[in-house]
Amino acid sequence: MFKTIRFLFKKIREYDFLMIPIMIVFTILSSIYPFIWVIVPAKVISLTVEGDSSLMIQYVILGGLLSILCAMGTSFLRGNYRMRMNNVRYHLIRDLIEYSLTMPYENTLDPKQLTKIALADISVKGPMQGAGGIILMILSLFGNLFASIGFLSLMSTLSFWIMLVLFILVLGSFYFSSKAASFDESTWNQWGEYERRYFQTTNIMTDPSYGKDIRLYSLIEILESYCNKLINQFKIIAKSVSKKNIQMDTAVAVLNILRDVVVFSYIARLLLVNQIDASEFFLYTTGTTSLVVILQESMKQISDIRKESNRFFHFISLMEEENQVLKDSVEIKDIKKTIGGDSVTVDIVDVSFRYPNSENDVLNHLNLTIRPGEKMALVGENGSGKSTLIKLLCKLYKPSSGTIYLNGIDINQIPDDIYWEIIGAVFQDAMVFPFSIRDNITLEESADEERLSKAINDSRIEQIMDGLSNGMETILLRILDDEGLDISGGQRQKLYLARALYKNNRFLMLDEPTAALDPLAEASLYEQYDSLSKEKTSLYISHRLASTKFCDRVAYLKDGRIVELGTHDELMDLNGEYKELFHIQAKYYRESDQGKEEVLYEN
């Protein structure tokens, strides 16, 4: 709990320092306020008995003014503090978003890590839970604690034993409240897992890309059934928590009744035997009531802060996770000098990789060297590990064993921003963003107009923009603009090509970017890539063999290993698996030219 409070105070100082003086002033006013309604009326009763009406009126006026000042002051400060709390919370939400976008890519496949993020999100997205709840409760807690100390001093003149009984009963209430909170906490991980699955399912129901299948196959009922199963799990958890809360609340109510009977019976007895007068009776009864209420509220706040601290700890643990990038003893300037030339050499040395929670290696002690300026085709059947290798080369995954070197340096020792300036990749599942065509190409706020113009001309993407009134400023997709343009698969490939050309990387990787195209369009697009990537180190990945003819070498991947390596002609001469696959595909890929059958793939 204290670690969480220290963390939040650090964030408060960082994001909105004025919250601290607001908290101090609020604490002073809120700790004074309850005494006004105890001390002033008691003094008024005493002065009335004495017949001093003049002084009594002064006390009434003074008490009224102080009451108004405290009430208005605390109300204003609470509202201002709450707005500032939301400002801090929004910064925490941005921190979590940044973490989610920059965490190791392999974590996006780990259900446990995704559940952690979901729980961290719960701890910051609601103003009354997690960080927001703690910050708000801290504001009242300090005032309550100071007021409690004051009332304890005031009531200490009554009876030590009564105060002891009172304190023990309040601690008992705190114990039962804490047990209820602890039981609630024990359900969070399970609740977070179900909530993550529920929102993923509902996102499918509202995602337009699933709309056709949902309608054509009448999937509404089956999707609703999955949602209802998760909702039933929520109900089971909520019912168990409610049952526990009722049990603990009943125990607290019994202790409260016992407390009131003991304390007020004792005070009433003192009045009946004339040991205290009417004003003291009022002082002790209202003082005791105020003390009990403030103590119980303070104990509940401490219990809730502890509970919400445990909830918020999911966020803190994510923020404190160590950067998984290996620490490099080589200076950045030395790295830039080593890899700063125009040529790029990639050495994949004894690399194996296994996905989380899997028992089998996708890549198995793979070795491969890509020479400077070389165009290499990496081919193989589906599931052979081609796309996984691309993700390793992009530093999205880390090898389970082995090392990948770029110009002789372990890529995990190269800072990400420097490494990603060197490499470029076009994936088979690349995304179109709901931005303008210009922004989809440049993917940056300040574009280099000369590079942009060249990328547009070389990729022939201007064909998309012909006839568009807004040209490059046309918004794609109907997410940020109801009139957004949705482009075809072939047009998307030109967009991805323009994106890669604009970035102008020295090492270009193409991960089956033409999977959605027909073989003829695929061959044409690969030829375009080839003509535009002269003198660049390139890696073309495909399970179809249209990319191999213009490549310097071909690596055939099977079961996570390179089983054949050489030029296209060399592999054909081997009469191995590459040749067999080539002939199987070639007989299907023919095009008609004025009634003449022409084989697209030739030996």
- 111 vs 353, higher pLDDT: 353
Residues of the chain with CATH 3.40.50.300: 332-428+507-599
- 430 vs 435, higher pLDDT: 435
Q: Residue 47's pLDDT is what? A: 81
Q: Residue 370's pLDDT is what? A: 94
Q: Residue 404's pLDDT is what? A: 95
Q: Residue 597's pLDDT is what? A: 40
The CATH label, of 3.90.1150.200, 3.30.1330.10, 3.40.50.300, 3.40.50.720, for the domain at 332-428+507-599 is 3.40.50.300
| pLDDT band of 15, cuts 50, 70, 90 | very high
Contact 560/381 with Cβ under 8 angstroms?
no
3-state secondary structure 287-319: HHHHHHHHHHHHHHHHHHHHHHHHHHHHHHHHH
| pLDDT band of 259, cuts 50, 70, 90 | confident
| pLDDT band of 331, cuts 50, 70, 90 | low
Q: Residue 458's pLDDT is what? A: 83
- Mean pLDDT on 238-249: 90
pLDDT value at 517 more than 90: no
Give all strands of the β-sheet with 346-353 in edge-to-edge order.
Answer: 363-370, 346-353, 401-406, 409-410
pLDDT value at 337 more than 80: no
pLDDT > 70 in the chain, percent: 91
Q: Residue 602's pLDDT is what? A: 43
- Mean pLDDT on 467-479: 85
The CATH label, of 1.20.1560.10, 3.40.640.10, 1.20.1250.20, 3.90.1150.10, for the domain at 2-318 is 1.20.1560.10
Residues of the chain with CATH 1.20.1560.10: 2-318
Q: Residue 335's pLDDT is what? A: 66
Q: Is 395 helix (H, G, I), strand (E, B) or coil?
A: coil
Among 140-144, 347-351, 382-386, 460-464, the range scoring the smallest mean pLDDT is 460-464
- Mean pLDDT on 134-141: 91
Computed over every residue of the chain, the mean pLDDT equals: 84
pLDDT value at 427 more than 70: yes
| pLDDT band of 603, cuts 50, 70, 90 | very low
Q: Residue 595's pLDDT is what? A: 39
- 545 vs 257, higher pLDDT: 257
**Exposed / middle / buried, residue 377 (Cβ in 10 Å: 0-12, 13-18, 19+):** buried
Instruction: Provide the Cα torsion 252, 254, 259, 264; round to 10°.
Output: 130
Q: Residue 383's pLDDT is what? A: 82
DSSP H helices in 156-219: 160-186, 188-206, 211-216
Q: Residue 599's pLDDT is what? A: 42
- 68 vs 526, higher pLDDT: 68
pLDDT value at 516 more than 70: no
- Mean pLDDT on 396-416: 90
The predicted-structure confidence for 292-303, as pLDDT tens digits, reads as follows 888 888 888 888
pLDDT value at 339 more than 80: no
- Mean pLDDT on 120-129: 87
Closest CA to 32 of 58, 59, 63: 63
pLDDT value at 241 more than 70: yes
Pairwise CA distance, residues 180 & 187, whole Å = 11
Pairwise CA distance, residues 309 & 155, whole Å = 33
| pLDDT band of 492, cuts 50, 70, 90 | confident
Q: Phi first, then psi: give them for residue 487, nearest 5 degrees.
A: -100, 160
pLDDT > 90 in the chain, percent: 24
User: What is the sign of the dihedral through the CA atoms of 86, 92, 96 and 97?
Assistant: positive
The predicted-structure confidence for 552-561, as pLDDT tens digits, reads as follows 999 999 989 9
Closest CA to 550 of 573, 587, 522, 589: 522
Closest CA to 509 of 380, 420, 588: 420
Helix (H) or strand (E) holding 45: helix 19-50
What is each CA distance from 195 to 114, 204, 412, 548, 560, in whole angstroms? 11, 14, 35, 47, 36
- 589 vs 92, higher pLDDT: 92
- For the entire predicted model, the pTM comes to 0.69
Pairwise CA distance, residues 45 & 280, whole Å = 9
Q: Residue 324's pLDDT is what? A: 42
- Mean pLDDT on 434-459: 89
- Mean pLDDT on 459-478: 84
- 250 vs 524, higher pLDDT: 250
Among 212-221, 397-406, 530-539, the range scoring the smallest mean pLDDT is 530-539
| pLDDT band of 329, cuts 50, 70, 90 | very low
The predicted-structure confidence for 190-207, as pLDDT tens digits, reads as follows 887 888 888 888 888 888
Pairwise CA distance, residues 399 & 363, whole Å = 9
pLDDT value at 321 more than 80: no
pLDDT value at 344 more than 70: yes
